[in-house]
A and B are shown apart, each in its own frame.
Chain A
Amino acid sequence: MSLLEVSGLSIRYGGAEVVSDVSFGVDAAESVGLVGESGSGKTQTALAIMGLLSEKAEVSGSIVFDGAEIVGSSERQLDRLRAERIGMVFQDPAQALNPYVPIGKQLRRVLLCHGTSGGREVDQQVMHMLDRVGLPDPARQFRAYPHQLSGGMRQRVMIASALIAGPDLLIADEPTTALDVTVQAQILDLLERIREETALLLITHDLGIIAGHCERLLVVENGRLVEQGPTRRLFSEPQSPHTRKLIDAAPRLDGSLPQAAAQGDVVLEADDVSVSYEEREARQQLHAVQDLDLELRAGETVAVVGESGSGKSSFVRAVLGLIPIRAGRVTFCGQELAGPVQARSVRMRRDLQLVFQDPAGSLDPQWRIEQLVAEPLTVHEPDLDAKGRRERVTAALQRVGLDEGLLRRFPHQLSGGQAQRVAIARALIVNPKVLVCDEAVAALDGSVRQQILDLLRREQEATGLAIVFISHDLAVVRSISHRVMVLYLGRLVELADGAGIFAHPRHPYTRALLDAVPVPDPVAPGGKLSVRGEMPSILTPPRGCAFHPRCRYTKSRCRVESPRARRVDGARVACHFAEELTL
């Protein structure tokens, strides 16, 4: 008899069936992965188990937890079940925690709601729990508000609050999607450790995570369960084409590298660029970016990689003129680009285009696709008549693999992948020389991500476009990057060509980023923890080498002297011991 038994579960909203006839079971202390693309009904299934679906949902089938039926039971019964028997961790801890209540109090409430009487023991129990999920200095964090914690720490608190009442099953819905790779590895490691007492249902779109952390796998597609079985078997002999597709789409570290770029002219050059923000409360300057260089040639892709807070976005935004530069200079084809983007000449703005992470945010919701794609033409080629403009728009959409039927639609009527293609078509329609992609594929499903990357590569081969590709994930940039630039706390850590960085990283941080990548291979799943802790706040950068508190090779020199980037075997590395370390 399984702990959780879902049979024939269907969920409908009005006429639309989002989950159809799903059946599976979870045994005590078992870890099961629920995998599918966005919109496949994963989260709906989880919410149904928790009894948290909206009232508009029509649920049929049965969900039996430890002998008790969940479908159709009263809120009162469900209240007893939630937290005490089933805990849940959501994707975004910032939204799941109450911003006005200190975290210790929030955890205490969970206990008080579930029959524990108050007093010192409760506080002790909360602190013990915080300690168990790896929160440093629990006594102090007890009184901290959610905004004072980093994303990773908040997710630890969420896990603590889900576990504190001692549930038998923990449901984690994309628990690491909002986190950096290194933090993701830590959270997954934590989930692994707590699993000795609790069964885990891990919901994710990322097969890499599943490969290392789940015994059994459930694959869903469009609300249907298409395949289930032991993780190893599913990876080695997938029965369903959809499983095959998901495995193929997951980013890997052993795929092919792009062919060497043709040596074009330097189009964009940044010298010693620094960016700082005024921090009003702390009355100090935040040095988001310090002395970064970039040399981008036509036909080349340079990836800028780092965790959140590494300054990668600030750097490219400063280059583009969206935020002011404190020091240094930027030149485009030999001409200096100074001042904010509004002050630059229209001609100049034509050649530098940006694709944002969130296509929904970067496309004006009031405009039709046709107008959106045509907008750059109205600015840069005002003489074009309506007919000519229309032809160009249609051609641009074809270039990115979209058909004319979308012309009259609005952005919210498109899927994430389609919207991102529109954003790319809009950027490419005036044939820029440089395209900057700021996490342009981070919000997309694996298969769509591959298509977008292929699209960018084709464009580059056809037109000699130079691309700057920002990402927090090394695995994603592998297939397109000729050179990779790794940043840490606003400074260059390593700059090397693609082959070099993936085969022989020379900086411990690069190594750590590579190790942390979860690989979709149950035999060697990656996601290793070779780095401690989290990136420190840019307000209080460590003395000496910025990376030394987290580095496992730290020597006394690292604590006092900040390393300058220097050449090591054709790469640029900022580590005192780059030659000696074998990583």
Chain B
Amino acid sequence: MSAVARIWAHMRSSKTVMVSGGILAAIALLAVIGPWISPNEYVTADFGSILRSPTLSAGHVFGTDDLGRDLFVRTMMGVQVTFAVAIVASVVSLVIGVLYGATAGFVGGRVDAVMMRLVDTLYALPFIFFVILLLVVFERNFLLIFIAIGAINWLDMARIVRGQTLSLREREFVQAAQLIGVSTPRIILRHIAPNLIGVVIVYVTLTIPQAILIESFLSFLGLGIQEPQTSLGKLVNDGTAQMEGASWMLLIPATLLAAILLCFNFLGDGMRDLFDSRQSR
């Protein structure tokens, strides 16, 4: 795939993108191998060592929580969940949103009108109501939360992609391809989609933090991740309760969450700069 290779070459030329991407990769790597090498389990409660502050010697690098569970393993677990939310939500919104939006935009006319009214209708559903409904109808499930978040995000993506496709459709290179004899699906796939990548990548990197925040919010309401599993948002929430006695319980997950959100935002901004500067060339 030449488009992917080119985007990579492009990303390498920007310091913002490389630094924020590097930090994210490092955090992700730590989150995967951290729990694996740590002697502690995320569920094991040790009532002998409740609310221990972070020390290297006792084996609790990030300290312990109010149930004596090792905070390092729990935080890493939270990061895993957070990244999982990011990946699932972005993939769901990417696949549905791009295909839906590009088809509506390119085909146009009545098809476009019907497809976009459906999006409007879904927009009108209150999000929380939608999630509660899902959780009631189906069993409470890890994956369901992610899909719910992705299902909300694809609406924005579809609208943005449709708008972009509408303007791309009028571009002369699309007409040129039609005159050459290229078929419509091929034009969507080979000419429209690659030209959407810039917008889509930027939008995905900017929606990821949004998805992470939504997950934290759901967990806070008790609709998200359930104990003993955890996420960064939930850890922050737990930490707030112990803020006075055990500040590390708040500070460590909060710092990580902030770092991740900031990095994704910087990544998105950096990407936008890259693609914008190329468009103006």
Contacts and interface: CB of A to CB of B under 8 A. Distances in A.
B191 A380 contact: no
B88 to A, nearest CB: 28
A363 B174 CA distance: 9
B181 A379 contact: yes
Interface in B165-195: 171-173, 175-182, 184, 191, 194-195
B178 A341 contact: yes
Given A361-B171, A364-B173, A349 B180 contact: yes
Contact of A363 (B173, B279, B281): B173
B2 interface: yes
B181 A364 contact: no
Contacts of A365: 173, 195, 278-279
Interface stretch (A43-51, A351-359, A450-458, A499-507): A351-359
The size class of the interface chain B forms with chain A is: 20 to 34
B182 A320 contact: no
B173 A362 contact: yes
Contacts of A358: 172
A354 B176 contact: yes
10 contacts: A349-B180, A349-B181, A353-B179, A356-B172, A358-B172, A364-B191, A365-B195, A379-B180, A379-B181, A379-B182
B137 interface: no
A556 interface: no
Given A322-B178, A412-B281, 13 more contacts: A320-B179, A322-B179, A342-B184, A353-B180, A354-B179, A363-B173, A363-B176, A364-B177, A366-B6, A366-B191, A368-B2, A371-B2, A379-B181
Interface in A359-396: 361-368, 371, 375-376, 379-380
Contacts of A363: 173, 176
A287 interface: no
A366 B180 contact: no
Nearest to A429: B180
A342 to B, nearest CB: 6
B181 to A, nearest CB: 4
A375 B176 CA distance: 11
Contacts of A364: 173, 177, 191, 194-195
Given A364-B191, A365-B195, A412-B281, A349 B173 contact: no
A375 B2 contact: no
Contacts of B194: 364, 366-367
Interface in A317-364: 320, 322, 341-342, 346, 349-350, 352-354, 356, 358, 361-364
A376 B181 contact: yes
> Which 10 A-B residue pairings sit nearest by Cβ, starting from the closest?
A349-B181, A362-B172, A361-B172, A366-B194, A364-B173, A346-B181, A379-B181, A362-B176, A376-B180, A412-B281
Contacts of A354: 175-176, 179
B26 interface: no
A362 B278 CA distance: 17
Interface of B: 2-3, 6, 171-173, 175-182, 184, 191, 194-195, 197, 278-279, 281
Nearest to B191: A364
Interface centre among B2, B175, B278 (most CB of A within 10 A): B175
Contacts of A430: 180
Contacts of A426: 176, 180
A364 B195 CA distance: 8
Nearest to A376: B180
A354 B180 CA distance: 9
A233 B172 CA distance: 44
Contacts of A423: 176
Interface centre among B180, B195, B279 (most CB of A within 10 A): B180
Contacts of B279: 365
A497 to B, nearest CB: 29
A308 B182 CA distance: 30
A362 B178 CA distance: 11
A346 B184 CA distance: 12
Contact of B181 (A350, A362, A412): A350
A380 B181 contact: yes
A426 B176 CA distance: 10
A363 B173 CA distance: 5
B178 A375 contact: no
A375 B172 contact: no
A366 B179 contact: no
Nearest to B173: A364
A35 to B, nearest CB: 27
Contacts of B184: 342
Contacts of A366: 3, 6, 191, 194-195, 197
B7 to A, nearest CB: 10
Given A364-B195, A365-B195, A349 B171 contact: no
Contacts of A352: 179
Contacts of A362: 172-173, 175-176
A494 B2 CA distance: 50
Contacts of B2: 368, 371
B174 to A, nearest CB: 8
Contacts of B180: 349, 353, 375-376, 379, 426, 430
A352 B179 CA distance: 8
